[in-house]
Structure 1
Amino acid sequence: MTLSDQALLAHDPESRALPGDIAIWLFILTELVVFGLLFVGLEVGWRNAPETFAQGARTLHVAAGFANTLVLITGSFFVASAVRSIRQGCIRACVLLLLGGMATGALFALIKIAEYQALIDAGYRLGTSIFYSFYFLATGFHLLHVLIAMLVLLIVAVRCLFGAYDADSPTGIETAASFWHMVDLVWIVLFPLLYILP
Structure 2
Amino acid sequence: MTAPGRDLPATAQSSPPVRERSLPGGVDMWVMVLGDLFFFGCYFVTYMVFRALSVEEFSASQRHLNVGIGVTNTVVLLTSSLFAALAVIAVREGALRNARRLLLATGACGVLFTLLKVYEWHSEISRGHTIHDEFFGFYYVFTGVHLVHLALGLLILGIAVRELHDSRGRRPAIVEQSVLFWHMIDLLWVVIFALLYLMR
Indicate whether the TM-score tops 0.5. yes
Equivalent in the alignment of 2:147: 143
Question: For the residues of structure 2 that align with 1:176 and 1:125, how far apart are their CA atoms?
Answer: 34
The answer to whether structure 1 residue 197 and structure 2 residue 199 are counterparts is yes
Equivalent in the alignment of 1:54: 59
Q: 1:89 aligns with which of 81, 87, 94?
A: 94
The answer to whether structure 1 residue 71 and structure 2 residue 76 are counterparts is yes
Question: For the residues of structure 2 that align with 1:30 and 1:185, how far apart are their CA atoms?
Answer: 14
Rg bigger for which structure?
2
Q: CA deviation at 1:24?
A: 0.4
Q: 1:164 to 1:119 in 2, by over 3 A?
A: farther
User: Do the aligned partners of 1:86 and 1:165 also contact (CA within 8 Å) in 2?
Assistant: no
Q: 1:164 to 1:114 in 2, by over 3 A?
A: farther
Unaligned ranges ≥5, structure 1 = 10-14
State the superposition RMSD in angstroms. 1.5
Equivalent in the alignment of 2:38: 33
Moved over 2 A (4+): 15-18, 163-166
User: Do the aligned partners of 1:21 and 1:172 also contact (CA within 8 Å) in 2?
Assistant: no
Equivalent in the alignment of 2:13: none
Q: Given residue 51 of structure 1, which amino acid in structure 2 is its aligned partner?
A: E
Q: 1:144 to 1:164 in 2, by over 3 A?
A: farther
Equivalent in the alignment of 2:103: 98
Q: 1:194 to 1:16 in 2, by over 3 A?
A: farther
Aligned residues: 183
Aligned-pair identity (%): 37
Q: How big is each residue's C-alpha offset from its partner over 1:33-85, in whole Å with a ceiling of 9 and x where there is no partner?
A: 11101110110111011011101110000010000000000000010010000
Instruction: Provide TM-score, normalisation by structure 2.
Output: 0.87
Unaligned ranges ≥5, structure 2 = 1-15
Equivalent in the alignment of 1:108: 113
User: Do the aligned partners of 1:165 and 1:173 also contact (CA within 8 Å) in 2?
Assistant: no
Larger helix share, 1 or 2: 1
The answer to whether structure 1 residue 133 and structure 2 residue 137 are counterparts is yes
Q: 1:187 aligns with which of 165, 180, 189?
A: 189
Equivalent in the alignment of 2:9: none
User: Do the aligned partners of 2:160 and 2:174 also contact (CA within 8 Å) in 1?
Assistant: yes
Q: CA deviation at 1:16?
A: 5.7
Question: For the residues of structure 2 that align with 1:184 and 1:110, how far apart are their CA atoms?
Answer: 16
